[in-house]
Structure 1
Amino acid sequence: MTVSLEQLRRCHIAVDLGAARTRVFVKGTGLAVDEPSAAAVNTRTGALIAVGALAERMTGRTPDYIRVVRPVTGGTVVDIEMAQRMLRHLLGDKLRRQLRRKPRLRAAVSTPHDSDPLAQRAAIETLLGLGARRVELVDTLIAAAVGCGLPVEQPTASMIIVCGAATTQVAVLSLGSIVTAQRVPVGGNAIDHAVIQHLRHHHELMLPSQSVRPLQLALRGTGLTADGPSRTEIHGRDVATGVARSVIVDTAAVRDAIYTPLTSVIDGIGKVLRDCPPDLVADLADSGIMLVGGSALLPGLDQMLHEATGMPVVIAERPDVCTVLGMGAMLDGRIRPMVLDPLADAQGA
């Protein structure tokens, strides 16, 4: 973590800028914003037409002069001006007026582990443009671990996997810090793309990119597990004729298609375990792996990771909002560091 708990308690808002969704936690209020990280812009006039869920629904359905942009990619702000405009509209007039009353507005923002200085500066500039006087950076892994209730401050190992839309972060934490971590450039988008390509190449079917994640369409019920349905019906558009049609898809084949991008995640887990001290690895045999992030709800992902690692895998209660709720807990002062007093220990001995 790049900031102390004392500094975080002075912050008024916490922002989680994700590739898929943007979330804002307001101190004393709770989770105030949870919307897709998308904005629709009129390219002729530069006017902002829609943000959030409405802009998300416009994707693939707009005329030429309207463009749907995503100012955040892989947890990194790639378009500062558009990110500021999107955040202003997502916050709304009432919340913006409430924040303007604070003369020394402090904000906290989550950044991916080992993000480069340019990415950190982009996140800071985005919130400074919204009126923040000071911006604190919080490691996404620490915030997510706090948000899902892991004993981060204890001298025991906690392993967490943050499954985002563009990247997956794997880490082992102990005593409030990251012992070893790995960032893999594979996320929910890559898995969805693997399913889309499989259906295109093997069934000549194109799936709509909107409304529901293609994977959720393809794998209902028990999804990717061996106990799930062996076949499933998919509705889409024929690649050659453009006519709507449906096909019967073998679930095992879809499972194999998804496994290809997931091998990178499994390799990342292996590297983290190899770099981790043996005593902490022994702790993980009992505590297992905690899955958080929007893509943690992928059907059968926990079972795949369990079979690959042999460790128990648990999905957080609210995996998609763990990061912002963790920052909110630190803002509200609900997280206390473990106090070590060597003088008291010496006297007691």
Structure 2
Amino acid sequence: MSTPSATRAAAARGRYLADLAAGPGRFLMPRSPDCPWCGSQRLERRVRTRDWAQGKPGDFTLDRCGACGHVFQNPRLNEAGLAFYYRDFYDGLGAETTGRMFQGGGSVRRFRSSVAALTAHAAPRTWLDVGTAYGHFPAAARGLLPETEFDGLDMGEAVLDAERAGRVAHAFRGFLTELAPTELAGRYDVVSMFHYLEHTQDPRRELAAARSALRPGGHLLIEVPDPESLFGRLLGGYWLPWFQPQHLHFVPWSNMRTELSRTGFTVLDVRRGHAHVPADLVAACWFLLTRVLPREDTPWGERPPGRVARLVRGGGVLAAAPALVAAYGMDRLFAPLARRTAWANAYRVIARRED
């Protein structure tokens, strides 16, 4: 008997196989010879990895600039590639799994910590959360700021669900770079970007757009992966924050601070550990496990896995459960030290828009 997930996978298989008929290479632009941040040609391969989260086909390379330290996907996904690799992750087949990830207690605690950091500098009445997806951050923040009106912006349909569920007051579906200079101009006391900038094709344009959406004196709150984290060196292609192929740019905190100042912000606070997400080891263990086990039933596979493959996968996951639990515990045990050292996997920036 087919499960609901198997039925949905079967229904989507034809479209995925048609997209893959010419191979995943068609989803990539030509390789860039220079750094998109500073223009230097001193590029070195940082890591080569795969889509461990969904298991979609393709190999992806991240290069590091030897001049400024910027890390970026090279070659980069084109528009067709972005559509292909985002499909069924935040909505569709993957919506339920992704939603549970953002609703976890760890995310809620981290969101509340971010709110506390921001309110040390401001008392916002209006707040725009960019890349809000289902609005889990506004839902968590409202308990601390009941008088603040939270709006959400995202490209997918999830932001409309957030509005219908009451997690955001107003939903905006589209690009910040297009809406900020017009419909959203000067409208907000705070703009937040939680693990959003690394997904964008031009982070500099996004920072300028955020400034346009803020009132003079308004505040920008950013949390992004730290490409200088020691976990990234230790775990290589299995480091969760590389998150290929969705993450296109990794901006070192010194570059971020310089760019914000150039864009018209005063940087008030940079914390390299307070945004740390303790999931490096357990995610790496899971990625390694998915590499060696038969795949699950996904529509980008040519055919559903057979009965033996399903049994092997189920048994392998069950056998690996103690190791996964141990890695989960180690992540949390190590988290206090990581947040105070170069092991932290993310950093937080708070900046004020100057007039």
Is the pair's TM-score, using the shorter chain for normalization, greater than 0.5?
no
Smaller-chain TM-score bracket? under 0.3
Give TM-score, length-normalised by structure 1: 0.27
Structure 2 length-normalised TM:
0.27
1 or 2, which has the higher strand percentage?
Answer: 1
